[in-house]
Amino acid sequence: MKREYERSLAFVKGRCTVVKRQARGRQRIREILDAALAQFAETGYEKTSTNAIAARAGMSPGSLYQYFPNKEAIADALSQRLLDELREAHAAAFDDTAVTELPLPDLVSRVVDPLVSFHVTHPGAKVLIGERGQPLHTGVADRVAALLRARSSESPDDDVRRSSAVAVQIVAALMGGIVAAPEPERSALVHELKRALTGYLNQPAGL
Amino acid sequence: MKREYERSLAFVKGRCTVVKRQARGRQRIREILDAALAQFAETGYEKTSTNAIAARAGMSPGSLYQYFPNKEAIADALSQRLLDELREAHAAAFDDTAVTELPLPDLVSRVVDPLVSFHVTHPGAKVLIGERGQPLHTGVADRVAALLRARSSESPDDDVRRSSAVAVQIVAALMGGIVAAPEPERSALVHELKRALTGYLNQPAGL
DNA sequence: AGAAAATACGAGTGGTCGCTCGTGAAACGA
DNA sequence: TCGTTTCACGAGCGACCACTCGTATTTTCT
């Protein structure tokens, strides 16, 4: 019986080889990523040991290292998976036609709201941003930049890029508190975030 | 010959005792803090080893542990020292009388500018904020809250506290990029930071 | 001068962590 | 059925790290 297998990399005896992943293996990768996300959320990236991830995923350290060459690769793959989920959640906000006409507060809400619910349902995502580089950051920043360019086509490109980078950093900065806060306060903080963004983006550039 | 000595804590043989610090000892503490700040700036808090701090300060690990019981205490003392320096640099901005009358952009500049130059001259300060709790954060946030309360006395206290916390988080979020950027870009980013703050604080609360 | 206090040293200890490797079980393909 | 590939295991290795301790030196004070 012929079957189709996803080709992917395995890391056995210190060597990187190409293997035909079985269904079991693909499931294992998902389990590792799930465990890593939960563990990162609890203890942060640096303080999370790979042995703890393996234990949480119900496997031995050796099994874990058949699917990832090192700890960093786990975080990278996790960032990628989260970024994909985020892109999907954001599709409605970004892939629309009439972004140019929409009032700024509405536009901000359309971008911020899915972002908030994404981070609320994935409380570990913020440590992949906070403690490690910017893989999630840049993914969003690029799309925000494109959106801003569409709205104010006469602004110089550097200004647009800077504005979107700043806006993304503001969102990232407040997201931690938003996720951590209990519900009555959380809504208030989301409201403040939107106020900050609209206030920032509304202003004429020459102040 | 009688001399006056500062009493402080020593940590010898695992026990905490009170000693009469000599001038040499006080100098050593300064050297440890200097070395720690430089090392934190280079490698971050977690990845900085106490042995590396000791080596950078030109002393043995044992000597370092005569002045601090553990790594965290070094970071705490350093945070305290930086907070004192910052408070001094901010005295002019906060201790003024007519804060209520000043236009918002001017007020923002008076607060932000010393903050920026403080972080530029102490590039290690931001990791004490970024990777470890909020000792520097809260110190500034309280003063900002007092300032905001003075300006809009009719706002509810919760709103004021929230606004100042958000403002401080915005500053903290952008400070990293500001410190890292070379000079032409740095000024532009500072300008963006001020725009963000004025835009945020200018708005009527009910948006 | 001489005892006591404070400072200084640095090899060493116990512990953690990322990662490996030899071995064996399960699934696949013929 | 049987060889090959993929998956699984877990003790343990080497490196690093926060911190200790016995000892030696310097300063203080009488």
Per-residue pLDDT tens over the stretch A185-194? 999 999 999 9
Same domain as A175, residue A83: yes
Q: Mind telling me how many Å the CA of B60 is from chain A's nearest CA?
A: 27
pLDDT of residue A81: 94
B52-81 mean pLDDT:
97
Q: Is A140 exposed, middle or buried (0-12, 13-18, 19+ CB in 10 A)?
A: buried
Same domain as B196, residue B139: yes
Assign A197 a pLDDT band (cuts: 50, 70, 90): very high
Judged against a pLDDT cut of 90, whether residue A203 lies above it is answered with no
**Residue B189 in contact with residue A170, Cβ under 8 Å?**
no
pLDDT of residue B158: 92
Tokens encoding B49: 């080893």
Judged against a pLDDT cut of 90, whether residue B65 lies above it is answered with yes
Same domain as B170, residue B114: yes
Judged against a pLDDT cut of 60, whether residue B1 lies above it is answered with no
Tell me if residue B16 falls in helix, strand or coil: strand
As a whole number, the mean pLDDT across chain A is 90
Same domain as A92, residue A51: no
At B21, give phi and psi (nearest 5°). Answer: -65, 130
Q: Which residues of A touch B105 (CB under 8 A)?
A: 207
- C-alpha span between A147 and A107 (Å, rounded): 10
pLDDT of residue B6: 86
Q: Which range is least confidently modeled, A77-81, A134-138, B172-176?
A: A134-138
The CATH number of whichever domain residue A194 belongs to comes to 1.10.357.10
pLDDT of residue A133: 65
Per-residue pLDDT tens over the stretch A39-60? 999 999 999 999 999 999 999 9
Residue where a domain terminates, one of A69, A94, A115: A69
Interface of A with B (CB under 8 A): 46-47, 105, 130-131, 162-163, 165-166, 169-170, 172-174, 177, 188-189, 192-196, 198-203, 207
pLDDT of residue A204: 67
Same domain as B82, residue B25: no
Same domain as B149, residue B100: yes
Nearest residue in chain B measured CA to CA from A203? B199
Per-residue pLDDT tens over the stretch B21-35? 999 999 999 999 999
Same domain as A155, residue A135: yes
B50-60 mean pLDDT:
98
Same domain as A164, residue A91: yes
Per-residue pLDDT tens over the stretch B88-101? 988 888 876 667 78
Cβ of residue A6 lies below 7 Å from strand D: no
Per-residue pLDDT tens over the stretch A158-176? 999 999 999 999 999 999 9
Same domain as A93, residue A47: no
- C-alpha span between A99 and A17 (Å, rounded): 46
Residue numbers of the domain that contains A41: 1-69
Task: Please name which of A8, A52, A57, A51 lies closest in space to residue A31, comparing C-alpha atoms.
Answer: A57
Strand partners, B19: B8
Q: Rounded to the nearest 10 degrees, how much is the dihedral formed by the CA atoms of A167, A168, A169, A171?
A: 90
Same domain as A157, residue A137: yes
Q: Could you report how far apart the first and last alpha carbons of chain A are, in Å? A: 70
Q: Is the dihedral of CA A152, A96, A170, A112 positive or negative?
A: positive
CB-CB: which of A173, A194, A200 is closest to B195?
A200
Tell me if residue B6 falls in helix, strand or coil: strand
Mutate to test the interface with B, among A45, A47, A108, A170 (most CBs of B within 10 A): A170
Q: Which range is least confidently modeled, A66-75, B14-23, B77-86, B145-154?
A: B145-154
Q: Which residues of A touch B166 (CB under 8 A)?
A: 174, 189, 192-193, 196
B109-124 mean pLDDT:
94
- C-alpha span between B81 and B30 (Å, rounded): 10
Residue where a domain terminates, one of A44, A69, A94: A69
pLDDT of residue B101: 83
pLDDT of residue B49: 98
Assign A97 a pLDDT band (cuts: 50, 70, 90): low
One-letter amino acid for residue A159 of the chain: D
Judged against a pLDDT cut of 90, whether residue A141 lies above it is answered with no
Q: How many CB atoms lie within 10 A of CB A66?
A: 17
Same domain as A129, residue A170: yes
Assign A98 a pLDDT band (cuts: 50, 70, 90): low
Residue where a domain terminates, one of B16, B51, B69: B69
Per-residue pLDDT tens over the stretch B164-187? 999 999 999 999 999 999 999 999
pLDDT of residue A1: 52
pLDDT of residue B52: 98
Residue with more model confidence, B204 or B29: B29
User: How many separate domains does chain A show?
Assistant: 2
The CATH number of whichever domain residue A53 belongs to comes to 1.10.10.60
Same domain as A153, residue A114: yes
Tokens encoding A96: 């629309």
Tokens encoding B142: 């309280």
As a whole number, the mean pLDDT across chain B is 91
pLDDT of residue B98: 65
Judged against a pLDDT cut of 90, whether residue B151 lies above it is answered with no
Q: Is A67 exposed, middle or buried (0-12, 13-18, 19+ CB in 10 A)?
A: buried
Q: How many CB atoms lie within 10 A of CB B49?
A: 13
Percentage of residues of chain A with pLDDT beyond 90: 69
pLDDT of residue B185: 96
